[in-house]
Amino acid sequence: MDTKALRHTLGGFATGVCVITAPDMDHVDGHIVGMTANSFSSVSLAPALVQWCLDLKAHRYAIYAQAPKFGINILSGGQETLSRRFARENAHIIPEEGLISPLHPLRLNNVAAFLACDLYESRMLGDHLVIVGEITQFETDPAQGGLTFFRGKYGQIGASA
């Protein structure tokens, strides 16, 4: 199978964009890591479960694969810069940056929605680790539109950010 053509075909499915946050256990001074993902989806309402997929070759694989808790930050329409930043390697968030909300240690500011999750289950499927989280807290900002990704390009949907 031509994996490049398959990737292009799958890129024809418009998605929202999230930054998954987790504590970096190698740093004791409050460092959080962020990783851009569009492989996020809901699984169940009872129990409240969501999932996302982590490439086995991801630079921060060990951090996310071992994280007992993580945050899913659904980016608002004006947060393309954050998405691009967290798509790069070593996307540490240090407290002095002021990106993290005082409401939760894994929540980014100005996101369209946030889900705090405890690890529920993870399983290797193909070349990804599927991570399922149980939602422990959530919030949404109905005034925010969403950031989208389609065929390699960013867009916006809903209310203007």
Q: Does residue 43 contact residue 70 with C-beta atoms inside 8 Å?
A: no
Q: How far apart are alpha carbons 98 and 61 in whole angstroms? A: 25
In this predicted model, what pLDDT tens digit does every residue of 28-82 receive, in sequence order?
666 899 999 989 999 999 999 999 999 999 988 999 999 999 999 999 999 999 9
User: Ramachandran region of residue 147, left (φ > 0), alpha (ψ -120 to 50) or beta?
Assistant: beta
Predicted pLDDT of residue 31: 81
Q: How far apart are alpha carbons 52 and 30 in whole angstroms? A: 24
Q: Strand, coil or helix: what is 74?
A: strand
Q: How far apart are alpha carbons 12 and 142 in whole angstroms? A: 27
In this predicted model, what pLDDT tens digit does every residue of 84-141 receive, in sequence order?
999 986 688 888 888 988 889 999 999 999 999 999 999 999 999 999 999 999 999 9
For 118, the token pair is 């405890």
Q: How far apart are alpha carbons 13 and 131 in whole angstroms? A: 21
Predicted pLDDT of residue 160: 53
